[in-house]
Chains A and B, each alone.
Chain A
């Protein structure tokens, strides 16, 4: 099992629109320790999703460095970054983003296709991950045959199946009813406590933020304050 330490060093991000630079993040500087469970909160446009994308390696900063497990991912090219994500990051999206034509088992197997595993090993790991999220009896179901909560659990199984160092979650309860949302938060809590997974989550939901150990608030692209929970 692996854990992560993420170090954001004076990270900035801006976009160019009509010849003008629009700053989205300014001088973000903080560390995420191995096994942390961090929630990023802030109003719309505060830059929290952009920050999550930078940490996850699906966007590149305009300045600064992002060290994950000692690797400065800001310096990796597109191909290296893809390989790095495959090995180190598990994604949980608000709208699950499962492949509708693949079964739950096949969806969970997807990240393992990028790992040096044979078919049997892939199948065993995917079944184990689905069992872990309580969906051992739904392996052959297609996403359209599952409820929203079940689909998000498949997405969590997909995120953890390759044992990544870091799990990033973008509004993981945003599309779920209250009961399903609570189940997902309980699952993330278990992954953090029992498996020591480092989780970074963007949320608007105070209940989801309450489940995290730390909450970092952003306003207008800058860190405003930090809440530490027990």
Chain B
């Protein structure tokens, strides 16, 4: 039951916290709230990154106009794409056709189910090859669109979050009615927040004759990417930039993830000052209530360092209790999905809070740091007490 911690028993430290249950609970609760905010921000950022990173595949390559950050900003003429599709590093099927698809990407606004407010959604014109290149995309219900038709399939987040999006309904955009024939589930990827239809129909409807947003293709071997990139760069006819698809989507999360981090962590730092002050007050009170005990421990032969450690450990335990409470509550956020606009693409993107072992470790470390900072001065005061003064305290 009694373990050694350079002299002072752990039971003494722990039971003193339990003795002051209400104070301990309130102080740990304050720290827990801060840890909850801290962990939630990290989970939001991780969820966003995971969604966008998982959207891409390392074997796929995306081509956009050089200098564009996103597919929406990009415009590639058919002639360049035809030249690109002849590159030898592109994988081909048994009939010799390249795994290569030209895609059209436009933004269109649809009313959201809950607020009724319009929000941008990504509409992607693609083909059967485009679907084959994204095996993570599975039809959840209905069927896929027929080539050359005004049929569309919608991602799970679009079906869940926007009004009137259901199989059999029509959506009106680009002066046409588009029949929803299927709902797809693309796991945790950003494709869930898109509407897909036939590329050529989208071209016509959005009057993009001869201009595409991007091209997606598969490499015959993943290590051929550098050779392809060099060839594209060297070809003076092309104004194209190629990127591995997963790198491209990872970069899409950068601005928003950075914003979430800065805003969230700034708030956390401000809140943590309050929590640290709370812990300091609690620990000063703990020291004040045990002055005679400190005097007796020192008289018995415990060194100043043992007293310092005992009170620091008490503060760290306080932080740990708060940290565990905060992380436990934050873990419940995994059941929620956030749908917001990605400022890089200006399109709605749905993603979940993601709790990782790294976030748990960072949150508990943060909680321990708050405990340490809150407990250091009181612990120092306890360790510096003169024995005879401490023993005389009434």
Q: Does chain A bind chain B?
A: yes
By a beta-carbon cutoff of 8 Å, the part of chain A in contact with chain B is 53, 56, 58-59, 78-79, 82-87, 89, 91, 93, 95, 97-102, 106, 109-111, 113-114, 119, 158
Minimum CB distance partner of A142 in chain B: B15
Minimum CB distance partner of A110 in chain B: B300
Q: B164 an interface residue at 8 Å Cβ cutoff?
A: no
- Scoring B11, B19, B300 by chain A CB atoms within 10 A of each residue's CB, the highest score goes to B300
Contacts A58-B299, A91-B296, A93-B391 supplied; 4 other A-B pairs, CB < 8 Å: A58-B391, A97-B292, A97-B295, A158-B300
- Expressed in whole angstroms, the Cα–Cα distance for A114 and B299 within the complex equals 12
Binary A-proximity of B282-307 (CB < 8 A = 1, otherwise 0): 00000000001101111111111000
Of A53, A59, A86, A106, the contact of B300 (CB 8 Å cutoff): A86
- Expressed in whole angstroms, the Cα–Cα distance for A53 and B392 within the complex equals 12
Q: From DSSP, what is the main secondary structure of chain B's interface residues? A: helix
Quick one: which of B1-30 are within 8 Å of A by CB? 1-2, 4, 7-9, 11-12, 15-16, 18-19
- Scoring A83, A87, A95, A99 by chain B CB atoms within 10 A of each residue's CB, the highest score goes to A99
Q: B78 an interface residue at 8 Å Cβ cutoff?
A: no
Quick check: B19 and A82 within 8 Å, CB to CB?
no
Quick one: which of B362-394 are within 8 Å of A by CB? 387-388, 391
Quick check: A109 and B2 within 8 Å, CB to CB?
yes
Please give, as numbers and ranges, the residues of chain B lying within 8 Å of A110 by CB-CB distance: 9, 297, 300
Minimum CB distance partner of B298 in chain A: A82
Quick check: B12 and A85 within 8 Å, CB to CB?
no
Please give, as numbers and ranges, the residues of chain A lying within 8 Å of B303 by CB-CB distance: 78-79, 82-83
- Scoring A59, A83, A113 by chain B CB atoms within 10 A of each residue's CB, the highest score goes to A113
Of A58, A106, A113, the contact of B387 (CB 8 Å cutoff): A58
Quick one: which of B338-368 are within 8 Å of A by CB? none
Query: Do A106 and B299 contact each other (CB < 8 Å), given the known contacts A59-B387, A59-B388, A101-B12?
Result: no
Quick check: A102 and B9 within 8 Å, CB to CB?
yes
Query: Do A99 and B304 contact each other (CB < 8 Å), given the known contacts A82-B298, A93-B296?
Result: no
- Expressed in whole angstroms, the Cα–Cα distance for A91 and B293 within the complex equals 13
How big is the B interface, by class?
20 to 34
Query: Do A101 and B301 contact each other (CB < 8 Å), given the known contacts A106-B1, A106-B11, A110-B9?
Result: no
By a beta-carbon cutoff of 8 Å, the part of chain B in contact with chain A is 1-2, 4, 7-9, 11-12, 15-16, 18-19, 292-293, 295-304, 387-388, 391
- Expressed in whole angstroms, the Cα–Cα distance for A119 and B1 within the complex equals 10
Closest 5 CB pairs of A and B: A86-B301, A97-B296, A101-B15, A58-B387, A85-B301
Q: From DSSP, what is the main secondary structure of chain A's interface residues? A: helix
Of A59, A102, A111, the contact of B15 (CB 8 Å cutoff): A102
- Expressed in whole angstroms, the Cα–Cα distance for A98 and B293 within the complex equals 7
- Expressed in whole angstroms, the Cα–Cα distance for A137 and B276 within the complex equals 44
Please give, as numbers and ranges, the residues of chain B lying within 8 Å of A113 by CB-CB distance: 2, 4, 7-9
- Expressed in whole angstroms, the Cα–Cα distance for A95 and B9 within the complex equals 22
Minimum CB distance partner of A79 in chain B: B303
Quick check: B304 and A78 within 8 Å, CB to CB?
yes
Provide a sorted-by-A list of 9 A–B residue pairs whose CB atoms are within 8 angstroms.
A58-B298, A82-B301, A82-B302, A86-B302, A91-B299, A97-B295, A101-B18, A102-B11, A106-B12
- Expressed in whole angstroms, the Cα–Cα distance for A102 and B16 within the complex equals 9
Please give, as numbers and ranges, the residues of chain A lying within 8 Å of B19 by CB-CB distance: 100-101
Quick check: B292 and A95 within 8 Å, CB to CB?
yes
Minimum CB distance partner of B17 in chain A: A101
Quick check: B299 and A101 within 8 Å, CB to CB?
no
Please give, as numbers and ranges, the residues of chain A lying within 8 Å of B387 by CB-CB distance: 53, 58-59
Quick check: B12 and A102 within 8 Å, CB to CB?
yes
- Expressed in whole angstroms, the Cα–Cα distance for A100 and B1 within the complex equals 16
Quick check: A99 and B12 within 8 Å, CB to CB?
yes
- Scoring B18, B292, B301, B304 by chain A CB atoms within 10 A of each residue's CB, the highest score goes to B301
- Expressed in whole angstroms, the Cα–Cα distance for A109 and B297 within the complex equals 12
Quick check: A99 and B293 within 8 Å, CB to CB?
yes
Quick check: A56 and B15 within 8 Å, CB to CB?
no
Please give, as numbers and ranges, the residues of chain A lying within 8 Å of B15 by CB-CB distance: 101-102
- Expressed in whole angstroms, the Cα–Cα distance for A99 and B289 within the complex equals 12
Please give, as numbers and ranges, the residues of chain A lying within 8 Å of B299 by CB-CB distance: 56, 58, 85, 91
> B4 CB to closest chain A CB, in angstroms?
6
> B85 CB to closest chain A CB, in angstroms?
76
- Expressed in whole angstroms, the Cα–Cα distance for A106 and B103 within the complex equals 75
> B124 CB to closest chain A CB, in angstroms?
65
> B391 CB to closest chain A CB, in angstroms?
7
- Expressed in whole angstroms, the Cα–Cα distance for A119 and B9 within the complex equals 12
- Expressed in whole angstroms, the Cα–Cα distance for A11 and B297 within the complex equals 26
Quick check: B300 and A85 within 8 Å, CB to CB?
yes
Quick check: A53 and B388 within 8 Å, CB to CB?
yes
Quick check: B301 and A87 within 8 Å, CB to CB?
yes
Quick check: A83 and B301 within 8 Å, CB to CB?
yes
Please give, as numbers and ranges, the residues of chain A lying within 8 Å of B298 by CB-CB distance: 58, 82
Please give, as numbers and ranges, the residues of chain B lying within 8 Å of A98 by CB-CB distance: 296
Please give, as numbers and ranges, the residues of chain A lying within 8 Å of B391 by CB-CB distance: 58, 93, 97
Quick check: A114 and B388 within 8 Å, CB to CB?
no
Minimum CB distance partner of A98 in chain B: B296
- Expressed in whole angstroms, the Cα–Cα distance for A140 and B286 within the complex equals 25
- Expressed in whole angstroms, the Cα–Cα distance for A56 and B387 within the complex equals 11
> A142 CB to closest chain B CB, in angstroms?
10
- Expressed in whole angstroms, the Cα–Cα distance for A111 and B299 within the complex equals 10
Quick check: A97 and B293 within 8 Å, CB to CB?
yes
